[in-house]
Each structure stands twice: as structure tokens, then as C-alpha cells.
Chains A and B, each alone.
Chain A
Amino acid sequence: MKLHPLAWVAWLLSTLVALSVTRNPLYLLIVLLCIAIVGNLSPKSQTRYKLPTALFVLLLVTSCCFNALTVHYGNSVLFRLPEWIPVVGGVITLEAALYGLLNGCVLIGFLLAFQVIMQVITSQELVGLLPPAFYPIAVVVTIALGFVPTTIQQIGKIRDAQAIRGHRLQGWRDWLPLWMPLLIGGLERAFQLAEAMVARGFASNDRPKQIIGDQIALVCGMLLLLAGWFVRLVWGLGGVGIGAMLIGALLIGLTLWRIGKRSPRSHYRTRRWHLNDSIVLLASLLFAGLLLAPLDLLDRRSLYYYPYPELSLPEFQTWLGLCFLCLLTPIVVSLLNNPKEIGS
């Protein structure tokens, strides 16, 4: 049984939060392992391009080297570069190298998490996730995705057609006779498509401005976001800042909801929400909340691993480590419901 795309998005967000919040190598390792397990064992909807492992190695190495070469701080000195070289000159320390490595791991985590998502959710489901307020844009994306195979066929036809009138592909100017029929053919096609859509009830004119009420709500929302972020950052008023940002986000969300309600649409294919999806959603939200919530009751100091100035062994809080295993929820629910589907 496949998970609802929204549940997967929740999983993705909790993974991103987990990666951003900590630099503790032990926790990072757990996160990467979880992502890898989920990625390998979840039933895939489609295999798109998989990122080559070489890329990950490259990222690790670059990150490590860059940090080591530009941050000259720490007690375990590996070697020394002459001070007069700009930026790079100074002590090259093990701490800096290690920190760079940890950064690289976080980056790899991001890439892997997104890769998993792209493999378990199809393009259509992704478009379906767009909120109703964005219906026109969803139609554009649907048309574009549908038009891609036709365009590929068209490119072949154009190449043949130009070849039979003597066209040879020698210089860079010779791409023009291949490009222009494609563009013009596409524009004509668009006109015919527009006509067919109008004949089936689609709107025949633009209405470029949103309703004033919605515009005001958006402006206020954005102002609150900006203000809240500033307040939190510059004046350190965490509570007020987060509060303002939440209200701003809520305003924008509400505006989207209202716009969506204004032009109702129905859906032919609906994804039903199952118990599994609720479990994954709840687990992800709780986990993210656990990591982010500014509650001083929770002792989360092991998250904030800091190698400077002296390299030290990272702390590990078992309860926290177990919580990180929440990232395995998608696999766990699949296992409980249908063990045969694993690994397909």
C-alpha cells in the first residue's frame, strides 16, 4: 500500500529539520542510514536519474577541504601555510577539517532525501499536491508534462524534414532550421489547444489582478514574516519573532485557502488517507517539534556538537538517538501492513 504524497512530504520535512539542527556525527550517521534504508526498501513509483556516488564523494571532499583551508581555528594543527597568502594562509587544523566533513554529510543527506522523494512520488502526484489556489499553474504544468513526448517526436520529424532539403549540421548556425520549426509549430499547437480548451469550458480571458482583500493579506503576511525574522535575529526576542513569523505564515496560508475556495474544482482521482499516512505524519511532526521546540525542559545538548577549539568525543543521549529512528516510520508501517512489498 502506497503512502499518501502528503505523508511523504511530512517525512521529508522532518528529515530536513533533523539534518539542519545537528552537527553531531553520531546522529548524522543515524539520519543518513535511515534515509538510505527508506530509499532502498520503499516501493518505487518511478526511477528517475539516480545521482552518481561519485558526486557524494566529491561533495564530502570539497566540503572538508574548503573548510579546512579557510577556517584557521582549533588546537590540533595539521600543518601551517604561510600567513601572507590571502584567505588560505594560516593554520590548517583537524577540527576545521572535521567540521567540513560534517557539513558535507549534511549536504549529502539533503540530496539523498530529495532523491528518495522523487522516486516514490510520481509527477502527477506532485502536481496534485499544489494547493487549489494554484489551479491555473497546475494546468500549465500538466500541459507541459503531457507535451514533452509529442515534442520529442516532433524534433525527430523536423530533423528528417530539414535533412531532405539539403540541410547539414555543420556549424552552430545550423541549429536554427531545427529550432524555428519547433518553436513555430509549438506556438501554432498552443493556439489550437487553447481553442479546444475554451470549447470545453476553460476560461477565455485573463483576470490579472487578485482581489484587494487577498492582496492586503499577502502584503501583511510578508511584512510579518520579515519583521519576525529580523526581530528574532537582531534583537534576540525568540518568542516574539517566531510568533510574528507564524502569524505571517498563517495569513499567507489562509489567503491561499480562500483563493482556492473561490473557484471550486472537483477531483477525478483522489488519494484516500489511510491510518498509515496518519502514523507517518504524526511521527514526523512530533519528531520535528521535538528537535525545534524551544522547551528548556528537554535536554538536547548532545545535538549541538562543536569540535572547536579542542577535538572531543561527541556526546550521545540514547533517548534522543532512539527518537531519530522515527525517520524509519514509512518502512515500519509498510512492513507491518504488507511485508511482500518491501524492496520492489
Chain B
Amino acid sequence: MTRLVQSSLSIAIYLLASLIGVVAFLYPFFLPVLPAATMNSAHSNDAPLVLSIVVVLCFIALLVEIQGQQLSAKSVALLGVLVAINSLLRFIEVAVPGPGGFSPIFCLIILVGYIYGGRFGFMMGTLTLFVSALITGGVGPWLPYQMFSAGWAGMSAPLCRPLVRLLRAEGKQAELWLLMLFGFLWGMLYGIIMNLWFWPFVSGPADQYWQYGISLWAGIQRYLAFYLATSLLWDIAAACGNALLIAVVGLPTLRALRRFQARFHFHYEPLV
């Protein structure tokens, strides 16, 4: 009984955090639709700030739930080492401007999440962004969102498992294709999310909208224009880069991670 209650509470926390995340990223679009009478200048200017605080708090709650009561030395050491290696890869992205927004860190985040589980993948994604920001000096207001998104990428990687099991493709090329597709999707998704984050800052306070009488659809159009102009190509390059990297290093990396799975006693367990 207690296990059932605890599992449902865990699910609740994951769902709430995701919901708040989605709301946070999409609010600039439905904001202008709200009755104009409720908006006055005082609120409009601090909406992004308040929302940031809400998102950060929910992220903290999710992180607490995922960390759990206690992490063993094996989990801590493994995470520490993998995060260090992945953070150094980020140096490549920062120091050597690659094609578009290619970030080499997602390959390992996705593979680690896929083999070692959603909790591990979430922490891998989050902490890679955190540590790499510390060592490359890239700490900024975008960091919590980057951490959150990368965490989601790692946490959702085990979703590939049932599909792989269905196709009975473990260890074969088909598994690699699936992971490459997943890497591509997340490349695009990460770009879109970070863009959505950046959007309110660029578009300015919402009070421009309803004075001007902009509608929801026009708002979306405006965003799409922004996206096309600045980062569609960027994100496609990032997505292709992810897929390519997984193609090159994927199979041997999966083999190595699986080999160590037994030593580290991780179980192939569903997310909750």
C-alpha cells in the first residue's frame, strides 16, 4: 500500500513539474488572450520574473524527488565521473564553434539515461549542464532552463526501451537507429525549448500586445518568424549532429555501459 502511495506521489511530482514547465514555456502565447482588464502595467513587467521563480522552485522539488533519500557511493562516483567527461565535451562546443548549435553532450546523456534509467539520466543531464557552466563560465539566467531541458532529455530516454524490446533489437543496428532518431528529436526539441525561453526577453513585456490588439494566432506567427530567422537552421544542425555522434560512438558506448551495469548493480526498471 505504502509503495503504491509513494509511486503515485512520485508520478504526481513528475507530472506537475512537467506541466509547470510546459506552461512556463508557452505562456507568452496565451497571455494576450487573457482579459485585458486584469492586466495592468504593474503585473506585466514582472511576469517573466515570477514565472522564473515558479519554474525554479518546481525544478528544485523535482530534483529532490529524483535524488531520493540517499545516493550510494556507486551512483555518486559514476555520475561524478560521467558528468566530468561530458562537461569536458561541452568545452568543444564552447571553444570550437561547430556547425550550428551542435552540442556533443546530448549523446552521452541519452545513452546513459537509456541504459541506467530515468532518474540517472535526469541527474546526468542536469548536472552536466551545471558543471559545464561552472567550468566554461556560462552561468546565466538561462542555466536553470538548460538544466531542466537536458534533464528531461535524459529522463525520457528510457521511453525507447519498450520499442526496442518490441523490435527485439537489443544490441543490433535497429537499436542504434532508434536512438539516433531520439537524439535528432531532442536536438530539435532542446533548441525549441531554449528558444521559447528566450522569446519573452526578446519580444518584450506583454503590454505591447493587447494595446496593439495582437491575437493568439498572430503571436504564434510572430514567434515562428523569430524562430525561423534565428534558430531553425541552428537547431537542425544540432539535431543532425546528435544523430551523427550517436551513429559514430553509439554501439561501442552502449556495450561498455551495459558491461558496467552489472558491476554497478543498476536495474532495468520502469521510470516509477
- By a beta-carbon cutoff of 8 Å, the part of chain A in contact with chain B is 16-17, 20-23, 48-50, 62-63, 66-67, 70-73, 86-88, 99-100, 102-103, 106-107, 110-111, 114-115, 117-118, 123, 126, 133-134, 136-137, 139-145, 147-148, 151-152, 155, 172-173, 175-176, 179-180, 182-184, 186-187, 189-191, 193-195, 197-198, 202-212, 214-216, 218-219, 221-223, 225-226, 229, 232-236, 238, 245, 248-249, 252, 255-256, 259, 263, 292, 294, 303-304, 306, 308
Contact = CB atoms under 8 A, between A and B. Distances in A.
B202 A197 contact: no
B147 to A, nearest CB: 11
Nearest to A126: B134
Contact of B123 (A20, A137, A249): A137
Contacts of A206: 68, 70-72, 75
Nearest to A182: B85
Given A88-B225, A110-B140, A226-B16, 17 more contacts: A17-B46, A49-B136, A73-B212, A86-B221, A99-B204, A133-B64, A137-B123, A137-B127, A140-B83, A145-B84, A172-B248, A180-B249, A186-B82, A202-B72, A209-B10, A215-B65, A248-B57
A159 to B, nearest CB: 14
Given A103-B201, A137-B127, A204 B72 contact: yes
Nearest to A228: B54
B221 A176 contact: no
Nearest to A197: B73
A198 to B, nearest CB: 5
Chain A binding surface, main DSSP class:
helix
6 contacts: A87-B221, A107-B201, A134-B67, A148-B87, A203-B73, A308-B208
Nearest to B41: A304
B78 A190 contact: yes
Chain B: interface residue count, which band? Answer: 35 or more
A50 B139 CA distance: 11
A175 B76 contact: no
A137 B67 contact: yes
Q: When A and B form their complex, which 9 residue pairs have the shortest distance between CB atoms, in order from nearest?
A: A143-B80, A48-B137, A236-B38, A136-B71, A147-B84, A194-B77, A197-B73, A215-B9, A190-B81
Interface string B43-87: 101111111011001101101110111111111111111111101
A210 B23 contact: no
Contact of B68 (A198, A209, A306): A209
Interface string B1-41: 01001100110110011011001000000010011011101
B225 A70 contact: yes
A102 B76 CA distance: 45
Interface of B: 2, 5-6, 9-10, 12-13, 16-17, 19-20, 23, 31, 34-35, 37-39, 41-43, 45-51, 53-54, 57-58, 60-61, 63-65, 67-85, 87-88, 94, 119, 123, 127, 130-131, 134-141, 201-205, 207-208, 211-212, 221-222, 225-226, 229, 244, 248-249, 252-253, 256-257, 260, 263-264
A143 B65 contact: no
A140 B225 contact: no
B60 A245 contact: no
Contact of B48 (A20, A117, A221): A20
A222 B16 contact: yes
A159 B202 CA distance: 44
B203 to A, nearest CB: 8
A17 B222 CA distance: 27
B49 A211 contact: no
A211 B5 CA distance: 11
A49 B6 contact: no
B76 A140 contact: yes
Given A71-B212, A147-B84, A176-B252, A21 B61 contact: no
Nearest to B71: A136
Contacts of B134: 123, 126, 141, 145
Contacts of A137: 63, 67, 71, 123, 127
B2 A203 contact: no
Given A206-B75, A236-B37, A222 B67 contact: no
Interface centre among A16, A198, A229 (most CB of B within 10 A): A229
Nearest to A292: B46
A193 B80 contact: yes
Nearest to A307: B208
Nearest to B19: A226
B249 A225 contact: no
A134 B13 CA distance: 17
A194 B123 contact: no
A306 B208 CA distance: 9
B5 A212 contact: yes
Contacts of B79: 140, 143-144
B173 to A, nearest CB: 16
B42 A294 contact: yes
A235 B141 CA distance: 29
A114 B139 contact: yes
A143 B127 CA distance: 11
A226 to B, nearest CB: 6
A234 B38 contact: yes
Nearest to A175: B248
Contacts of B83: 140-141, 144
B262 to A, nearest CB: 11
Given A232-B43, A236-B37, A187 B68 contact: no
